[in-house]
Structure 1
């Protein structure tokens, strides 16, 4: 005979359980109301006249009750573990203070639970026992701290870094990585910065260290570079600000060294009225201007201006698909080591565009870059990423149309600070826009 106990919220559900598990041949031996609803005891292969007080029946029922109690205990333990995990997630585990609160709460609970039965003991040996318990609990809390830290790191970044999935970032490193993304840094650079910082400090302290690492990684040319003179060709896309930058540099040099110390050369013979702007600079400043169309003319112009202290070459902003693009690039590359090529990067362009500009012009033999249109941009991170990842020193930064004032020598720390300020302002603007949208939506719903 097989005997089983069923408990359900009502008698109908209990009988349905009996039918589903024991089948239509089951015999109801007893039924009664209990705390959880209704209890039904049913049997299979029950013989008529057989006593319901059979010891075997009682034994099977007792075993079943024990199994149900054990199962309930396991479920309760699982629920408590889930609650602890939920508490760790929902509480401010994102900060070290939050984690300490969780650990201290667990420690206080364990300590008070263990200490309660000992409340009636006197001092003496009990003090020794208490010290032993304190040491034991400290060890337990230390172990739990490590386990919770690992759990926290796994929950936040168990998939690893976006660029190095073989090495997961810790929770704090993932926070720094995200802040680098907000500044506009390329993921590869952000990963390199975040991975160098340990978790033995607060997030804000770690972020300040990260900003210093970013500034250290950003290459900048020696200050007052152009005051020494030299021969420089500016290359870059159309509208990047090459000609205007040349006008600013020439004007500053003329102010300090005189018009006879400067010469201008233009390679732009592909656009209508291409010489008008640089021709205007030449007339206003009183400096020489040479217009060249091929490699032979360029070498001749450089020979004629060899006595000039500063020679600036303006190139045409051609698309990489233009048939003249490679011709101009080859001309600049073969001119010689004395001519330094600088890539002009407009800060208003997207990061991918800046990367493509570098790829297109690097064959010319670049030695540095120029950041233009700082006054019009909203994120410095993309251009900084190009300079840092390609090891291309930033030589100049321009921030307006005024000649000769709006051109400056770069300072890595100031550029990084400005990049962070731009990121904070952008985040504030988005938060304000989101709040305004929610307020407008709420008014619309109330009006409806």
Structure 2
């Protein structure tokens, strides 16, 4: 086999050089990156001796050797088969695909560096036409990826009702409850929302909600069990939003105990699953599978700013049918909480420059906070500051010991 080595900037240029020097029958034996250049080794199969004998004119008619046509055809087929075997041994399936689709192979490599799994990357890049300019092809791929991420309807925030957040420990459920409550207060007023917690395991869980409720002027209740939600639902007015915080559970514990199984079919209750962008793909798949028993209708993605490779998270989200409702990308209670923006998340996952990810013109504009919320917050701060030690201790005791009658008194 005649073997030659070529260096080029990309696979397109390398294939052109191979065809120019060795013809269309040349076989790519290997390819690798060397000092920023693509090095390709290609070879051609020498003409079989049988063909040389067939093509060469006999020197003497008496010494000419008759060639059986069927035997010659068999020899050619064996030669072609040998060439194919050499090619398959020299190139893996991935390299063969890359040799046929150099632009798509380049995009697959870029996507995998961003954390997207190979199956998804090849699916996205496989539809790209090789003749398309690189920038235009990348824009189409980004648009297709963005459109593939499902989003969820948030009608419960408009019409009111019960909304419970579930998820593992430490994923940001309580903070998300506060953020959703603040958005609703700005739109509908403090009297249209209440906070409820079923988390009696984590120390200070109720106290954290209570502090926010005092500043915002909204009631906060600690319930003993899920059955108390029945009483709460019967006394809540139409259009009132009740946000329910739950205790964090490990994925293995959720499968054993179905949350809200006792009351789900007796009240209008919607469940959202809160997941962090910092989970590894395998852990995130396990969480999504375990919390299916809670029948979530939407996802809230937290800690986007802490994810090393957001592409890994988006790859898992694309494998399931739950839509994304909100995401958070910082610690600020309001400015870092956003409705699902798949194009922004896609650009962020692809490590595109910050100036392209979220243009200033598209930054979310905060809605004006009603004056009464700030006035109440100022009064509350004064009251908390002037509390005596005895009053503070009684508040802590109240946050630990729930009273069922407080549910009735809240409405």
TM-score normalised over the length of structure 2: 0.62
Asked whether the 8 Å contact 1:248–1:404 carries over to 2, the reply is: yes
Query: Paired residue for 1:303?
Result: 234
Match of 1:208 among 133, 139, 159: 139
1:371 Cα offset (Å): 1.2
Distance 1:209 1:334 in 2: 43
Distance 1:274 1:404 in 2: 20
- Structure 2 residue 270 is the aligned partner of structure 1 residue 340: yes
- Structure 2 residue 287 is the aligned partner of structure 1 residue 357: yes
Q: Deviations over 1:128-160 (max 9, x none)?
A: xxxxxxxxxxxxxxxxxxxxxx99x97997324
Structure 1 gap segments, 5+ residues each = 1-77, 108-149, 425-448
- Structure 2 residue 24 is the aligned partner of structure 1 residue 82: no
Query: Paired residue for 2:168?
Result: 237
Distance 1:401 1:360 in 2: 27
Describe how 1:82-231 pairs up with structure 2 within 5 A: 82-83=3-4, 86-87=5-6, 90-92=7-9, 94-104=10-20, 158-160=92-94, 170-222=101-153, 226-231=157-162
Asked whether the 8 Å contact 2:226–2:263 carries over to 1, the reply is: no
SS in 2 for 1:213: helix
1:355 Cα offset (Å): 1.5
1:347 Cα offset (Å): 1.5
After the TM superposition, which segments of 4 or more aligned residues of structure 1 sit over 6 Å from their partners?
153-157, 165-169
In the alignment of these two chains, the number of paired residues is 293
Q: Deviations over 1:16-37 (max 9, x none)?
A: xxxxxxxxxxxxxxxxxxxxxx
Match of 1:275 among 191, 203, 206: 206
Which structure has the larger Rg? Answer: 1
Q: Deviations over 1:81-109 (max 9, x none)?
A: 212xx23xx334x33244334444568xx
Structure 2 gap segments, 5+ residues each = 24-83, 355-411
SS in 2 for 1:381: helix
Superposition RMSD in Å: 3.5
Structure scoring higher RCO (CA < 8 A, sep ≥ 6) equals 2
1:258 Cα offset (Å): 0.9
Distance 1:292 1:223 in 2: 25
Distance 1:157 1:268 in 2: 57
TM-score normalised over the length of structure 1: 0.57
Asked whether the 8 Å contact 2:199–2:245 carries over to 1, the reply is: yes
Describe how 1:347-426 pairs up with structure 2 within 5 A: 347-421=277-351
Note closer, same or farther for the CA distance 1:225–1:199 as it changes in structure 2 (3 Å cut). Answer: farther
1:344 Cα offset (Å): 0.9
Distance 1:200 1:264 in 2: 57
SS in 1 for 2:103: helix
